[in-house]
Amino acid sequence: QQQVKQSPQSLIVQKGGISIINCAYENTAFDYFPWYQQFPGKGPALLIAIRPDVSEKKEGRFTISFNKSAKQFSLHIMDSQPGDSATYFCAADPNTGFQKLVFGTGTRLLVSP
Amino acid sequence: DTGVSQDPRHKITKRGQNVTFRCDPISEHNRLYWYRQTLGQGPEFLTYFQNEAQLEKSRLLSDRFSAERPKGSFSTLEIQRTEQGDSAMYLCASSLGQGVTEAFFGQGTRLTVV
């Protein structure tokens, strides 16, 4: 019940295309859903986050879509660029009041030039 | 650089040896976290400090692991009698207090136990 399931495991998108990564959860206590971007040899960096009281949040080329009833959320990267090539992790916080994040298994994105 | 700093970046040790990692959080952050990330997986929560108090420990943190945060500033994570299964990236993160705020991660310490 504490798991966050992420798909796909890897993704290849052409430059300018839309990258879509999906996550699903079971624990209805989760109340904060961040997405992290990680480059090789670096720590994860927060991209965008959403709370379950909104269905969509957009920041630049990055959009989170959230479906509370289905317990699913997704990251859309519009106009994907080669510099977006990285591993992306969804995560969820089980309402602990601090960042006890449960991470998905990651999606390795490659944007081809 | 005012981000989260971890030292060393890489550590190779023989099985059975003890190792200690250091994390310096962002200066005004009173919350500090340790996560472990194995190859091809997402980070897993290990422990959490609010100032100098260790308030939460994962069951992943066996008796061989100990973390401290004296004076509520930097933190250390020690692994005693290392095992090959301890090989992983150990990530430190910090955040401001009160509620859920963004956690900033360091670059991690890559531990290899041979």
Residue B23: both structure tokens together: 């994390």
* Residue A89, pLDDT score: 97
> How many residues would you count in chain A?
113
CB atoms within 10 A of CB B39: 7
* Residue B102, pLDDT score: 83
To the nearest whole percent, how much of chain B has pLDDT over 90? Answer: 82
Check whether B1 has a pLDDT greater than 60.
Answer: no
Distance from CA of A92 to the nearest CA of B (A): 11
* Residue B96, pLDDT score: 87
Q: Quick check: A98 and B31 CB within 8 A?
A: yes
State pLDDT tens for residues A60-77.
999 999 999 999 999 999
Structure confidence at residue B16 as a pLDDT band (50, 70, 90): very high
> Quick one: closest CA in A to B32, which residue?
A99
Check whether B75 has a pLDDT greater than 60.
Answer: yes
Phi, psi of B84 (to 5 degrees): -60, -30
Question: Which residue from B42, B95, B108 is facing A99, i.e. has the nearest CB?
Answer: B95
The average confidence (pLDDT) of chain A is: 93
Structure confidence at residue A41 as a pLDDT band (50, 70, 90): confident
Q: Cβ contacts (< 8 Å) between B99 and chain A: which residues?
A: 97
Q: Quick check: A43 and B108 CB within 8 A?
A: yes
State pLDDT tens for residues A13-39.
999 999 999 999 998 889 899 999 999
Q: Locate tokens 């839309």: which residue?
A: A18
Q: Which amino acid is at B61?
A: L
* Residue B99, pLDDT score: 64
Residue B90: both structure tokens together: 């150990």
More confident residue, A97 or B23: B23
Q: Cβ contacts (< 8 Å) between A98 and chain B: which residues?
A: 31, 33, 48, 50, 55-56, 95, 100
Nearest to B33 by CA among B59, B9, B3, B56: B56
* Residue A97, pLDDT score: 73
Question: Which residue from B93, B102, B107 is facing A42, i.e. has the nearest CB?
Answer: B107
- Alpha helices in A34-79, H assignment, sequence order: none
